[in-house]
A and B are shown apart, each in its own frame.
Chain A
Amino acid sequence: AQRVTQPEKLLSVFKGAPVELKCNYSYSGSPELFWYVQYSRQRLQLLLRHISRESIKGFTADLNKGETSFHLKKPFAQEEDSAMYYCALSRKAAGNKLTFGGGTRVLVKP
């Protein structure tokens, strides 16, 4: 069975500092990886997906199949980045059903 692990429950950084959220997965096949974000009082929404290879709001994430990781990075954190972040995985053979990690709360201090 697939599993997604986010080892940090809370990341606290100062504005302008780099931030990296770790995500490790276990799955023997070819996964699709996503990062979802939930801002305060808002619903869960897609931030980015590995297949798009895009940068959203300054965030990037690289899929490392050798290390089975999909870490999320931003070089200069902003206060509006404070939110809950979830890494998620879907299996090609199982459609778009998502397996989520436990989430990391990011707090960007002024």
Chain B
Amino acid sequence: DAGVTQSPTHLIKTRGQQVTLRCSPISGHKSVSWYQQVLGQGPQFIFQYYEKEERGRGNFPDRFSARQFPNYSSELNVNALLLGDSALYLCASSGLAGVSTDTQYFGPGTRLTVL
């Protein structure tokens, strides 16, 4: 298993544009979480999905949205990009979402640069 995969690896956009990031979880995992990591900071939780339903949302504006597909892959969408959205976006998968000790496995991330 290749582990959690994310695409694209890098992305450059301009202010006001929209972006879609993609994530494929580890085979058998039904939960996907998204985190934003700004340079020099720790990852910050954005969304969690389990069985195609949103299970949690962090303190992010409505410009951020996500969804999970029947095959458990997920997309993160960000509209009306701002310079401050420049960050590494991490996807993590786990078997469960409701168990606090269930390990999250992270992907390599998508580096988004907004100019």
Contact A99 to B45, CB < 8 A, known contacts A43-B108, A46-B103, A94-B100 = yes
Looking at A43, A46, A95, A99, which has the most chain B CB atoms within 10 Å of its CB?
A95
- A1-47 CB contacts (< 8 Å) to partner B: 4, 6, 32, 43-46
Contact with B along A64-87 (1 / 0, CB 8 A): 000000000000000000000010
**Interface presence of B53 (CB below 8 A):** no
A44 to B48, CA, bound (A): 18
A43-B107, A43-B108 known; A96 vs B96 contact (CB < 8 Å): yes
Asked if B100 contacts A90 (CB within 8 A), the reply is: yes
A-side contacts of B7, CB under 8 Å: none
Q: A43-B108, A44-B106, A45-B106 are in contact. Are A95 and B98 (CB under 8 A)?
A: yes
Number of A-B contacts (CB under 8 A): 73
Q: Kindly list chain A residues whose C-beta atoms are within 8 Å of the C-beta of B104.
A: 46, 96, 98
**Residues 36-69 of chain B: 1 if any A CB is under 8 Å from the residue's CB, otherwise 0?**
0000111111001000000110100000000000
Taking CB atoms, residues of chain B closer than 8 Å to A90 are 100-101
* Across-interface contacts of B76 in A (CB, < 8 A): none
Whether, in the assembled complex, B24 has its beta carbon less than 8 Å from a beta carbon of chain A, the answer is no
How long is the Cα–Cα vector from A90 to B109 in the complex, in angstroms? 21
7 contacts between A and B (CB under 8 A): A46-B105, A49-B103, A95-B97, A96-B31, A96-B103, A96-B104, A103-B42
Which 5 residue pairs across A and B have the least CB separation, nearest first? A100-B42, A44-B106, A90-B100, A32-B100, A96-B102
Residue ranges of A at the interface with B (Cβ–Cβ < 8 Å): 4, 6, 32, 43-46, 49, 51, 86, 88, 90-92, 94-103
